[in-house]
Chain A
Amino acid sequence: MLTRRNFCKTCGLMSMAGVMAPAFLARTVTATTSGLAAGKRALVVVQMTGGNDGLNTLIPYADSAYYTARPTLGLKEPEILKLNEQLALHPSLKDLKELYDKGQVAVVAGAGYPNPDYSHFRSMEIWQSANPDSAARDGWLGRYLNAASSQGVPDALTRLGMTIGNTGQGSGAPLAFWTDKTVVLSFGGIERFQFRGDAGVKGDREARLAAARKIYNVATQNSAAEYIRTTALDALNASESLAKVATDYKPAVTYPKTPFADRLKNVAQILNSDYGTRVFYVATDGSYDTHFNQAITHSRLHQTLSEGLAAFYKDLQAHGLDDSVMTMTFSEFGRRVAENGSKGTDHGSAEPMFILGGKNAIKPGIYGKQPSLTDLDNGNMKVQVDFRSVYATLVKNWLGTDPKPIVGGDFPTLDFVR
């Protein structure tokens, strides 16, 4: 599979020697790895776009300061779903609570980074680049994919990572996947990832596709044309394998009828195939940016999140994959402790993250530390765990790669991976 790094290494050689493209450039691609069943591990990152109200997600119900700060939005017994004597989950996270009770969920309380930024754009950029110190150039998952592929994990870099659905950054891959070397597939469904012809004339698509393949099989001496040509063949082959994955796959559960659940079903489809993707990135539906009348919106968003994730893990379990797939949720920031005058909440800082996996993958429990509601910084909770510790844990203990170059430093790992 082509990577830009490999490609450019060969540019010099090609022009020096005046030779035709080396074999790997012209190689048509077949899946090089077997499925996850062969003991491989995958990571699914779920982006909760808009800034999730962490305080109404992981609720410090035993703290009266919570109800003082949230006179209309405060969530009370008996609806809340208690995890222990201090903390409870939002009532709409019922399915997630069931997974928690089964030992499949770790919660990281109080996650964030130093000197929080309250701009959606900048804070999202920080979470995706894992770099709070300067404007981003690349993303943490992209850096991971590069490291993984150079360690001899499949060289199929374009298949290693995948974005499904829009993540709020146009239709391309999210910043998290970006480096100048990585190329990940981002697609809004298998339909868009297909060669098309004239739908009004029977047989035209096939005839046209055959002609296109002939065209893409003609090598040239122009290195840029070669790059396009080989990518084209790669894309046509990938499209065919993905279409096959979609028709071959039978989910073991009925997924909820939401776009988010559809995306997770796509992830399950691909995990069950030999397509080779190890890192997936999906966003939830709608926006968590609940400045006004938060209660109803927040409930609906959490219900979609919770039901989607629960169906996904049931499906994975039925296919024997739940212990091979870990899922991490994050949002660009949490929200202000005190509710605002519009029955909503404004941009804040520390937030809880959820880590999901199989019983033999996760050490369940609550990690990090629930921030104080009285010792605040400009009305915001103080961050207790740097999110880069969570990333480092996943990279090191789950994916088995040195986290330092990926998260940009030494961050202590947490203990949620079995």
Chain B
Amino acid sequence: MSTNPLSDRRNQAAHLLRRAGFGGTPAEIDELAKLSHVEAVEKLLDFRIDGNLAFNLERKLQENGYEAALNDIAYWWLLLMARSKQPLQEKMTLFWHGHFTSSFNKVRDSLLLLEQNQLFRDNALGNYRDFVKKVSRNPAMIDYLDGQSNRKGKPNENYARELMELFTIGIGNYTEQDVREAARAFTGWSFKDRTYVFNQNQHDTGSKTFMGQTGPFNGDDIIDIILKRQESGRFIINKLWTFFVYPNPEPAVLDRLGAVFFKSNFNLKEVMRAIFLAPEFLSEKAYRALVKSPVEYIIGMAKQLGATNIASNLTQASAAMGQTLFNPPTVKGWDGNLNWINSSFFFDRINTANNLANARNPQGNFRYDPYDLLGVKEANGPDSAGAVVDRFAGIFLDGQLQPEIKSALTAYLNPYGTLKASDLLDAASGKQTARPVDSRVHGTLHLLMASPDYMLK
């Protein structure tokens, strides 16, 4: 067996940035690797919530009388993910967006979705119980799961069912009667002018019997009752672990993290700290164990290519790979991991990688320079095809490259076996005679980014 790549400190930092963020540039990884893993985790966790992010955009939109389309807000968020100096803030926001799903297809109101996005950001590492109560009052959520039609005497069970099945405790831990009774408790929770309102006269004040308890419960009571159950802790821990570490956590992991969840009184920051500091997080099993989602794949490429800009059409590329921000396909959010891969999404992935790798236009809206990555002008710049492949593999694959893959890349890059440092310098200076070399340098990056390992985080 090979040794665990995560025993290397720099690889640990790169791994942490892929999980707690959207991947790192070489400089970001170097910076984080100067700290111990414990310090690095602390640095990522210790972000100051920017409570105005979405609202600033909203204000700007309203001042200009501009009605934001889905792509406008998706691009705004994609940029934020790529540029944020607090990547865990956006990563958690993305997690909650996929968990407490609402979609543009149903809600049709960019401002409502931006406000929901900010709610996720504000509570990203806050108190989970308070968070669930806020989500239950969130206008986009109320709209998405038909809260307005949930009225006394005419309950709509949509929210009550998803609250239990998908948001808090999972199927098998409640009955159909629990759904009906919970729906009654949430009657009258509505919104007007993009603001939550409680319609007292539509609220069913009668007695409800829910999960074995009886009383004139309202929605908050329902959430309190659910979150007293051990199963609710296991449910959310399982989902967080599957998103941040690896699928199918062991029962011992769920028990251990579940204890943190309840003992800390639903403190998400404590839970996330325990996840990142768990020995399993740096185990070989966790290394490259999850498929990058489309936005992770795209932002990772941009960062590792050293791109100076993110093109707005990358939101469409992400959509083609199956992830439209603010518009998850169903109430389950995105299934994620292996579900990101199928024969059709696969071509969208590798063709996007090709578009980025082939970007050459110095005026284009996606720009990078492969010769900067190679350091061709430095004293120890690469002087052979093998050295080029090694240099790129260091940036894109933590230097973990199987020998057969290295030889495939070397043979592609240098079919005649004569590549010299001067050829790379010629290509870097844009000499027409070096065009074939230039093409294969860009192509080597495409192939690396199309490799199975690079599609994993």
Contact = CB atoms under 8 A, between A and B. Distances in A.
A185 B343 contact: yes
Interface in A205-237: 207-208, 210-212, 214-216, 218, 220, 222, 224-229, 231-232, 234-235
B233 interface: no
Interface residues of B, number: 60
A4 B447 contact: no
B348 A4 contact: no
A172 B411 CA distance: 35
Interface stretch (A194-202, A297-305, A342-350): A194-202
A187 B348 CA distance: 10
B342 interface: yes
B320 interface: yes
A187 B343 CA distance: 10
Nearest to A237: B343
A137 to B, nearest CB: 6
Interface stretch (A101-109, A175-183, A257-265, A313-321): A175-183
A195 B289 CA distance: 26
Contacts of B330: 125, 135-137, 175, 178
Contacts of A211: 408-409, 411-412, 443, 447
A137 B446 CA distance: 35
Interface in B410-457: 411-412, 415, 435-436, 439-440, 442-443, 446-447, 450-453, 455-456
A231 B456 contact: no
A169 interface: yes
B291 interface: yes
Contacts of B439: 198, 200-201, 204
B338 A7 contact: yes
B408 A137 contact: no
B341 A227 contact: yes
B404 A218 contact: yes
Contact of A208 (B145, B346, B446): B446
A220 B443 contact: no
B342 A158 contact: yes
Nearest to A159: B343
Chain A: interface size category: 35 or more
A193 interface: yes
A135 B452 contact: no
B105 A193 contact: no
B196 interface: no
B67 interface: no
Nearest to B328: A170
A191 B451 CA distance: 22
Contacts of A171: 319-320, 322, 348
A201 B451 contact: no
A117 to B, nearest CB: 9
Given A178-B330, A232-B452, A198 B443 contact: yes
A43 interface: no
B339 interface: yes
B456 A222 contact: yes
Interface string B372-389: 000000000000000000
A379 B345 CA distance: 44
Contacts of B348: 171, 192
Given A180-B335, A211-B409, A220 B452 contact: yes
Given A172-B322, A216-B452, A222-B456, A195 B347 contact: yes
A150 interface: no
B347 A235 contact: yes
Contacts of B103: 121
Contact of B161 (A134, A178, A192, A216): A134
Contacts of B80: none
Contacts of B350: 195, 212, 232
A4 B435 CA distance: 43
The 9 tightest CB contacts between A and B, nearest first, are: A235-B343, A211-B412, A214-B408, A183-B342, A228-B452, A225-B452, A135-B331, A121-B106, A201-B439
26 contacts: A119-B106, A134-B158, A170-B319, A170-B322, A171-B319, A175-B329, A183-B343, A184-B342, A186-B344, A198-B358, A207-B415, A211-B447, A212-B350, A214-B405, A214-B411, A215-B451, A216-B452, A218-B405, A220-B452, A222-B289, A222-B452, A225-B456, A227-B341, A228-B291, A232-B452, A235-B344
Given A169-B105, A218-B405, 11 more contacts: A121-B106, A171-B320, A173-B344, A175-B329, A192-B351, A214-B411, A215-B447, A220-B453, A222-B456, A227-B338, A239-B347
Interface of A: 4, 7, 119, 121-122, 125, 134-137, 158, 169-173, 175, 178, 180, 183-187, 192-198, 200-201, 204, 207-208, 210-212, 214-216, 218, 220, 222, 224-229, 231-232, 234-235, 238-239
